[in-house]
Chains A and B, each alone.
Chain A
């Protein structure tokens, strides 16, 4: 099954706010047909999470998102045994559940939901790098076998349909080798200006091209500043352009002159802000 045939993609880049490059489309298709999880890395704001949404939308499959947290245990992602409700039921006994039947108190976690769903789903495991290595390895075991045991009722749950798995990582930590061995890997590079223009067009179909060109130029110039710790990403650019277009007093000429209004939309750290403010104005003129 191929996700992104040519015609699909054309319709898809148009309205749905996700611009996909060929290389990535190929990687997605290959991972799907090999039934391997796809691990996506890349700078924040390059659209890693958005990809899973786009795949789900395009294949018309339900999307299940597992947001990984640092304290997360694997079993939470699989299922939960709701002991408190059972205790409550056993004392007051006013529910339809059968207290003697533990299975009534097993709630599926996100991975469990993807396994028990009646149709094929897209399972997005977001920011896997936040969790510890054990979590990652154990999870890959489950995803490899497509089954897990529910210890409380001594039952093995097998996936009805193998979900399409997309995993994202922000590369804060390196993932372990066995983990990497079981995934396909793709690194989403930061979009080049040409790609960025397409992305902006998709988000702002009505935008004046002068504003867009000036904004993109300035944006890439500001990204070149070396000392900046958190470089502005696509998300910031989109918000910034939104801010610029909302301002009736804004003229694209200002950017060419080196004035950068709403710098705070692009730079969120005070050191970065100062550095950008200094570099943004060649005359070292204060902006505020």
Chain B
């Protein structure tokens, strides 16, 4: 049973296993699952093993079972419409207010529940005019489920509620925030920071653990067994190079800076420099790239163990990267092509990564991204990307 459902989950990219599916069958056989809500909970607990995939699961569940076993289909339809209304209200309160014929400020005082109640009442009153469809009902079905906006009254829509049918629960998409793909936002900061916490050094195993040695020696019937621990190593130095030219980068810079600043205490030293598009002879310590220039050549004097982290979209005209006078700033044209400077940095600091806020699927469309990713291992600026980047930085 539910083989289609299983494969739908699999196709969507949730790592489901046949073993767990068989287990679900056992649960069904044992009559542990009596209704759709039970099935929702059970199949999620058994098949899905990470809260990251809960959101996807919810979507597929809703898609698969929508209308399949719903005694109150009428109610569900109204709910869908109400949700569409709610969505529109979030993005454009004024038009909804106009359509309902009330003042916008009055509407914003209602809580979402009250709004839906109000809306349902209106809908029941005017069933006969329903077909004509006023503007906002017409747009209803097309609006995707989701609550990205903020509601005028300042409340968040969504969240768990009791006594609903499983499809409705699934439709709420309560686990949206746990999804780990997509660019880093302030709300995923905590998760990202946990990944960054792994950026700590591990020394060689050369500290004698006396107690453990005694214990193991005893265990070994007196034959001496020496146990070593990892010695603590000095903390890491990190250089953060941020591309802060161009509007494409603007939303990401504060996030990255806050992130690394929060982790600052775990580093021995954290230096942040700025550049525009790509690195030529100089980088700047000030975000305006004017007051405090720092010649790139000086980097060669720094500790080669320093971890180098680039943050940039790596998108520019190819000549900016390849030509010897490629810089868009006349004063920077010293004769070294930018790509040479990047190679120099990559050679100086063998532990390096490039974090790109553009989604990875877009990378093949920009030539310079390909060229730069041959020099620096490139990762998406997302929680997952950061995790891989940290692993890469810590690899010996």
Contacts and interface: CB of A to CB of B under 8 A. Distances in A.
A34 B218 contact: no
A38 B174 CA distance: 21
Nearest to B40: A23
Nearest to A172: B194
Interface stretch (B184-192, B234-242, B300-308, B351-359): B184-192
Nearest to B191: A171
B6 interface: no
Interface stretch (A51-59, A185-193, A239-247, A255-263): A185-193
B193 A229 contact: yes
B46 interface: yes
B20 interface: yes
Interface stretch (A79-87, A133-141, A199-207): A79-87
A174 B180 CA distance: 13
Interface in B144-160: 159-160
A149 interface: no
A195 interface: yes
B45 A227 contact: no
B49 A226 contact: no
A74 interface: no
A26 B187 CA distance: 30
Interface residues of B, number: 40
A180 B30 CA distance: 22
Contacts of B27: 30, 33-34
B258 A227 contact: yes
B30 A189 contact: no
Interface in A160-181: 171-172, 174, 177, 180-181
B45 A185 contact: yes
B45 A30 contact: yes
Nearest to A272: B262
Interface in B44-95: 44-46, 48-51, 54
Nearest to B188: A226
Interface string B208-248: 00000001001100000000000000000000000000000
Contact of A26 (B42, B54, B159, B194): B42
Contacts of B189: 226-227, 229
Nearest to A38: B45
Contact of A229 (B32, B159, B160, B262): B262
Contacts of B187: 226
Given A26-B41, A189-B174, A271-B262, A181 B20 contact: yes
Given A26-B38, A27-B45, A83-B219, A187 B23 contact: no
Nearest to B160: A192
Given A33-B30, A172-B194, A41 B41 contact: no
A189 B176 CA distance: 12
Contact of A34 (B23, B41, B49, B161): B23
Contacts of A41: 50-51
Nearest to A191: B160
B19 interface: yes
Contacts of B161: 194
A22 interface: yes
A29 to B, nearest CB: 7
Nearest to A220: B156
Interface in A82-102: 83-84, 87
A172 B20 CA distance: 24
B135 interface: no
A30 B32 contact: yes
A227 B161 CA distance: 28
A185 B32 contact: no
Nearest to B38: A26
Contacts of A27: 41-42, 45
B162 interface: yes
B134 interface: no
Contacts of A31: 45
Query: Across chains A and B, which 5 residue pairs bring their CB atoms closest together, nearest first?
Result: A226-B186, A187-B51, A180-B49, A184-B45, A26-B41
Interface of A: 21-23, 26-27, 29-31, 33-34, 36, 38-39, 41, 81, 83-84, 87, 171-172, 174, 177, 180-181, 183-187, 189, 192, 194-195, 226-227, 229-231, 271
19 contacts: A21-B162, A30-B38, A34-B26, A34-B27, A36-B46, A83-B215, A83-B218, A171-B194, A172-B194, A177-B15, A186-B45, A187-B51, A187-B175, A189-B174, A192-B160, A195-B160, A227-B186, A229-B189, A231-B190
